[in-house]
Amino acid sequence: MKTSFACITGLGCICAAGISLKAIMPVLYTGKRNPSAPSNFRADIDKTSPVFEIAWSLPADPSVTYALKTSRQPRQSTPSRTSLLALAAAMEALEHAHLDNMILKKKRVGVVIGTTVGCTLNNEPFYRAYRDKKNPEVSPIKRFLINNTALYVAGFYNCSGPAVTIANACSSGTDAVGLAKSWIENDICDIVIAGGADELCRTTYLGFTSLLITSQEPCRPFDRNRKGLNLGEGAGIVIVESNRSVKERGVQVIAYVKGYGSSGDAHHPTAPHPGGSGLRRAIDIAMRDSGSKVNEIEFINAHGTSTMDNDKVEGKVIANMFPNSVPVVSTKSYTGHTLGAAGGIEAVLTVQALVDRQIPATAGFEEYDPECAITPTTKNTPIKSGTAISNSLAFGGNNSVLVIGMEHA
């Protein structure tokens, strides 16, 4: 029996739809999106696919303003874009949760953040020069070594709990929130800063292009005429807190991480199992962990990448396991596929949709695909403020699922 519940007390998000959660939700509800050719790097290919870049030039370190206000200096002078995205979302989430340095100092605070590439693939010029025996300056490597995303955030806030960066492909952010739930329920932490962060990167962009799964048009999840995904960037952070800490602080619980499930396909490096066996197990584990029933699920925030295989497999699993046509949305139609950040961003958006009692239309969907077997939302859809699911399917065959609800199990 659980002695502590994984309470969500703060939310923070930054993505192509907006630089804060407050800015993002109206964009989703008005159906606006504007993917475009990448501007922060050169692709050097004939045909480019649009991406969901953040329309905000990150300063050298957004923590500088905060540091000046509190007379503290940033711990690291050369943070990566991924670390800055994580910090920006964490700042918003901590403010939302009414947490400051004085409170954090008195608590066991853990940090767990999922990412895929972080800053690790942005050193092409260094490696090219090294290969050509030009003896390049090593600052790019030093920058890489100090940019463990979780350690960057933990170091900035002097967190005393565990700090873990999860690199589990596209399920990384979901797995981070799932691990945070475990830390709370097992009394390892009082508070956990959890989620995902990833920046757009030339190497990632070219890699996905070479896999022939990117679209030269805006993505259209679950649509019969979908052509592939659009990459994106951003960060999504949830503050997960024990009910004891919540009671001590006298703050409001926004929602609960009720269930978490993870299961592998062991099928293919990039493609999901055709029968969706791993996703089925992950959903089943998460549902049992949450104590929820199928008819209690108000909506599903699908992985919904807009690729042929993923949408087909995920759609069939949802249709089979939730036969009463539970509403399905893919928020990637507004954010792009943010890789390791996706699960964190989608957890935040799922919680906020429950709070708003409304889910947005799935942008780009027009024509039903019988192979997907589901029709995602085509307009803003009212829901009850109950329980929702967020799915993540990853390269390597990993499937991770969160059950998020307004009441604990």
Q: How far is CA 285 from CA 196, 282, 312, in A?
A: 22, 5, 22
Q: Are 395 and 270 in contact (CB under 8 A)?
A: yes
Q: How far is CA 182 from the centre of its chain?
A: 18
pTM of the model: 0.93
pLDDT of residue 142: 73
Q: What is the mean pLDDT of residues 79-105?
A: 94
Q: Where are the beta strands (DSSP E) in 90-233?
A: 109-114, 163-166, 191-198
Question: Cβ distance 28 to 334 under 8 Å?
Answer: yes
pLDDT of residue 126: 82
- When pLDDT is averaged across residues 173-188 and rounded to a whole number, the result is 98
Calpha distance 96→259 (Å, rounded): 23
Give the type of residue at 264.
G
Active site residues: 170, 303, 337
**Domains of the chain with CATH codes:** 7-405 (3.40.47.10)
Q: What is the phi/psi pair of residue 52, to 5°?
A: -105, 85
Q: What is the DSSP letter of 120?
A: T
* pLDDT level of residue 118 (50, 70, 90 thresholds): low
Flag whether pLDDT at 62 surpasses 70: no
The encoded tokens of residue 314 equal 């995920």
Residue 216 phi/psi, 5-degree rounding, is -85, 5
Q: Provide the pairing of β-strand 255-264 with 297-301.
A: unpaired
Q: How far apart are CA 126 and CA 123, in angstroms?
A: 5
Cα-Cα-Cα-Cα torsion 128, 209, 341, 358, nearest 10 degrees, comes to 160
Paired residues of 203 in beta bridges: none
Buried b / exposed e over 273-301, threshold 16 CB at 10 Å, is beebbbbbbbbebbbebbebeeebbbbbb
More confident call, 362 vs 397: 362
The predicted structure's pLDDT at residue 2? 64
Report the chain's mean pLDDT, rounded to a whole number: 91
**CA-based angle 76:81:85, to the nearest 5?**
95
pLDDT of 25 above 70 = yes
Closest CA to 226 of 338, 372, 52: 372
Instruction: Please tell me which residue, 76 or 124, carries the higher pLDDT value.
Output: 124
Q: Which two tokens stand for residue 8?
A: 């969500």
Q: Which residue has the tokens 């940090």?
A: 111
The pLDDT score that the predictor gives to residue 71 is 38
Separation CA 193–CA 98 (nearest Å): 13
Higher pLDDT, 315 or 160: 315
Q: 213-247 pLDDT, tens per residue?
A: 999 999 999 999 999 999 999 999 999 999 999 99
Q: What integer pLDDT is reported at residue 395 of this predicted model?
A: 87
Point out which residues pair with 196 in neighbouring strands. Answer: 114, 236
Q: How confident is the model at residue 407 (pLDDT cuts 50, 70, 90)?
A: confident
Q: Output the DSSP codes for 258-292.
A: EEEEEEE--S-SSSPPTT-HHHHHHHHHHHHHHT-
As a whole number of angstroms, the distance between CA 103 and CA 275 comes to 48
Q: How many CA atoms lie within 13 A of 333 on its CB side?
A: 32
